[in-house]
Structure 1
Amino acid sequence: MPNIVDTVTTADGACTIHLFTPDGQETQGPWPGVIMYPDAGGVRKTFEQMAAKLASYGYAVLLPDVYYRNGDWAPFDMASVFSDEQERKRLFAMIGSLTQDKVASDAGAFFDYLIARPEVVGARFGVCGYCMGGRISVTLAGRLPERVAAAASFHGGGLVTDTEDSPHLLADRMRGTVYVGGAENDASFTKEHAEQLDKALTKAGVQHTIEWYQAAHGFAVPDNAPYDEAAAARHWEAMTEVFGSALPS
């Protein structure tokens, strides 16, 4: 897939982004825009490949370096990051640095960038994410409802918490479609969390789907140990179904 590497100016600096678009003469743009948010490991080869795959379905996909405030940060080894105490501390420090205000501010700049690109059609977009990125996607549906036409979260954690910044508390502000793909036996998104989220979205009149995958947390990301090929295939189907019905053509 064509891959443009660029920078987006945000309130806090310059964020490196990749913009992937469909390949081949038979696919002529412009295309609906989507922001893909990575899991806690951040942007790496796996996510470049995933963004390119999503683009192949007919989307202009922006993949941002969500950790750009950390400068030229060293990539994480996803096979060992959670067992290496120092790396685990570094990872969680970087995750904790991404407040709702920061991700919403960044997303506003990303959406402005997409609007200005000739490859992109429309002024409302899709957002999707994995693990940490799943929480970001649902959060943005509530924080930037005028920009988010559809949000998809896959094995996203922290969608329902006891804190005042819990994404489910933003349900009454959401205008787009919300899809949540949960993993089995995932302490970060349990059956009880799903029930609370469903009640909040239903009460707010948000079109939504919560689907359970018979796979572990991390099932959709190829370099995660729990990656599950069948579940990953279903997640691509689900995401393109949601975006296909909600995004401008």
Structure 2
Amino acid sequence: MPSTTLSIPTPDGRSDAFAAYPEQGGTHPGVLLYPDAFGPRPVLWAMARELADHGYYVLVPNVFYRHRPAPVFDLPDHITAEDRPALFGQIMPLIEAHTIERALSDAGAYLDFLTAQPEVGAGPVAAIGYCMGAVLAMRTATAHPDRVAAVAGFHPGALVTDQADSPHRQIPGLTAKVHLGLAEGDMTPEAITEISHAFDAAGVDYSCEIYPGTVHGYTMSDTDAFDAAGSRRHWERLLALLGNTFKA
């Protein structure tokens, strides 16, 4: 499976990135894959390769590029619950520095770069993400409704808040098909109801599903949160969404 590291020009500098794409020639639907809070690392690159094996050009940007290149953090080979407090002491300042303004500025640059690649077909792309990446994927799609046709978010971060700029408040501008794969406890019943009402009011084609028996981070095989059944379900739902969007 061909893969490469890339440098994406942004208004604030250059974002390093990883891309994987099918071996056969021609063009393929583009997928912008936002990582979880631990940032781009081997497990994300392996997931990108797996998705590319299904016929997609997958771009994984380093959203923390303003601080250092990927892998951004000195992570153990397997992240346990005991590792998390110290790691999040390093991670949270970078997350807090990644403001909405920065996220939206980067999103436009990432879409420009992705759609300009010779292996990427014409037309809109997909934005998918994990944990905080699900929030970034949703913000990308709501800010660029003509450029994003599918959104998937797994064990998402805060999609519903009481802030005026909450991601769910931007849904009226959304045109993409959406799947949200929640771990148990990711969102309160009230938050699920609120975001579902927002999707319904906007006429969005969406599904919002709690994956039974999972905890936050269930897709990430380098963590204690990994759940094999939840990961399989995530792949089934993701591939179905992309297939229905790009291959119908």
Give the shorter-chain TM-score range: over 0.9
CA deviation after TM superposition for structure 1 residue 81, in Å: 4.2
Asked if the contact 1:135/1:159 (under 8 Å) is kept, the reply is yes
Q: Cα deviation per residue 1:13-34 (whole Å; 9 max; x = unaligned)?
A: 00011110023xxx44300000
Cα drift, residue 141 of structure 1 = 1.6
Contact 1:122 1:248 (8 Å CA) reproduced: no
8 Å contact kept, 1:138–1:178 = no
Q: Which residue of 1 aligns with 2:47?
A: 50
Q: Deviation at 1:101?
A: 1.9
Q: CA deviation at 1:221?
A: 1.1
Instruction: Point out where structure 2 has 5 or more consecutive residues left out of the alignment.
Output: none
Paired AA for residue 230 in structure 2: A
Which residue does the alignment assign to 1:93? 93
Give the equivalent residue in structure 2 for 1:218: 217
Select which of 59, 81, 84 maps to 1:82.
Answer: 84
Q: Deviation of residue 95 (structure 1)?
A: 1.0
Aligned residue for 1:69, secondary structure, equals coil
Deviation, 1:129, is: 0.6
CA distance in structure 1 between the aligned counterparts of 2:207 and 2:19, rounded to whole angstroms? 28
Question: 2 CA distance for matches of 1:227 and 1:165?
Answer: 31
Q: Measured at CA, do residues 43 and 147 of structure 1 come closer, stay the same or move farther in structure 2, by a change above 3 Å?
A: same
CA RMSD of aligned residues (A): 1.5
1:110 alignment partner in structure 2: 110
Alignment counterpart, residue 62 of structure 1, candidates 53, 59, 64: 59
C-alpha contact 2:6 2:16 (8 A) present in aligned 1: yes
Aligned to 1:208: 206
Structure 1 residues 116-165: Cα deviation after superposition (integer angstroms, max 9, x where no partner): 21100023110111100011111212111121111100000201001122
Distance of 2:98 and 2:73 partners within structure 1: 17
Match of 2:158 in 1: 158
Distance (whole Å) between structure 1 residues aligned to residue 18 and residue 244 of structure 2: 25
Number of residue equivalences: 242
Which is further off, 74-83 or 61-70?
A: 74-83
1:170 paired residue number? 170
Specify the SS of the correspondent of 2:229: helix
The one-letter code of the counterpart of 1:207 is D
Instruction: Confirm whether residue 196 of structure 1 aligns to residue 181 of structure 2.
Output: no
Q: Measure, in 2, the Cα distance between the counterparts of 1:155 and 1:175.
A: 22
Q: Distance in 1 between matches of 2:201 and 2:73?
A: 43
The answer to whether the 8 Å contact 2:153/2:180 transfers is yes
Structure 1 stretches lacking a partner, 5+ long: none
Q: CA deviation at 1:76?
A: 3.5
Which moved further from structure 2: 224-233 or 101-110? 101-110
Residue 81 to residue 94, structure 1, CA distance change in 2 (3 Å) = farther
SS across alignment from 1:63:
strand
2:31 matched residue in structure 1: 34
Report how far residue 248 of structure 1 moved. Answer: 6.4
Contact 1:104 1:144 in 2 (8 A): no
Deviations 1:164-204 (A, max 9, x none): 22110011000111111111123xx2222111000011001
The whole-number CA distance in structure 1 between the counterparts of 2:7 and 2:170 is 30
Task: State the distance in 2 between where 1:212 and 1:181 align.
Answer: 6
Q: Aligned residues: percent identity? A: 36
Whether contact under 8 Å (2:26, 2:119) holds in the other structure is yes
